Amino acid sequence: MAATIPTNGIVLSSGLNVADGDITLASGHGISFASTSDGTTMASELFDDYEEGSYIPTLTDSAGNVTSIALNSSYDSLAYTKVGRRVSIQGVIVISSFSGSWGSGNLQMTLPFTVANLTDQQGRCIINVGTYNVDFTNDATAPYFLTSEGASTMGMQVSKDNAGGGIGQPGSSAQFYIQGSYIA
């Protein structure tokens, strides 16, 4: 049974209790927190998005020397949760095989949502990764995935204390333990 809401809305003074069912908002609408106005440079106080699921990332070589990368079907997806603009990802990815040889390129992995393009590189961040069976050039360690604003991929980077970084070159059966978040 649908109810007709007056054009001036409904005012509830003692809360809302939905005994069964969902609250569905029209596309482009959400829950407004405008009454708080906490930040002087805030962009929005409208909570208008929530999503959770999993996705199968595509892996590529930024230099194009590795022409295909196959994932182990038991370890080929990452979980994600999107709350507002914040996207969190985590899971384990295992490479089962690849064609070609790693040269000067780095491993690229797709993201479930495009990284936000914000002022002063505010959208750029790193995603944590632990590795197994990955060789690092330049004796570098401390791998991470670096996001770029406006991109739908992240690239594996490695660093070395007080020296230039290197690149990670996965072997067959390479494992990646991924966890982190970014702004979409």
pLDDT tens per residue across span 112-169? 999 999 888 888 899 999 999 887 776 667 789 999 999 999 998 887 776 666 677 7
Residue 135 near residue 168, CB atoms below 8 Å: yes
144-148 CB contacts, 8 Å cutoff, 24+ apart: 145/109, 145/178, 145/180, 147/111, 147/115, 147/123, 147/182, 148/115, 148/124
The CATH number covering residue 169 comes to 2.60.90
Q: Is residue 76 part of a domain?
A: yes
* Res 47 pLDDT > 80: no
Q: Does the residue 142 lie in any domain?
A: yes
User: Residue 15 has which token pair?
Assistant: 């809360």
Q: Is residue 32 domain-resident?
A: no
- Structure token pair of residue 6: 């007056």
- pLDDT category at 42 given cuts 50, 70, 90 is low
CA nearest to 173, candidates 130, 124, 133 = 133
Average pLDDT over every residue of 28-45:
72
Domain-embedded: residue 29: no
pLDDT at 109 over 90: yes
Least confident of 63-67, 99-103, 147-151: 99-103
pTM: 0.81
Q: Tokens 């569905």 belong to which residue? A: 24
Residue 59 belongs to a domain:
yes
Contact indicator for 109, 58 with CB cutoff of 8 Å: yes
Indicate if the pLDDT at residue 38 is higher than 70. Answer: no
Question: Which pLDDT does position 36 carry in this prediction?
Answer: 67
Boundaries of domain holding 120: 50-183
Residue 14 lies in a domain: no
Of the CA atoms within 13 Å of residue 103, those in its CB half-sphere come to 8
Q: Does 41 reside within a domain? A: no
Mean pLDDT of the chain: 86
Asked whether 93 and 76 are in contact (CB, 8 A), the reply is yes
Among 106, 82, 97, CA closest to 154:
106
From first CA to last CA, the distance across the chain in angstroms is 37
Number of domains in the chain: 1
pLDDT value of residue 13? 81
| Residue at 98 is within a domain | yes
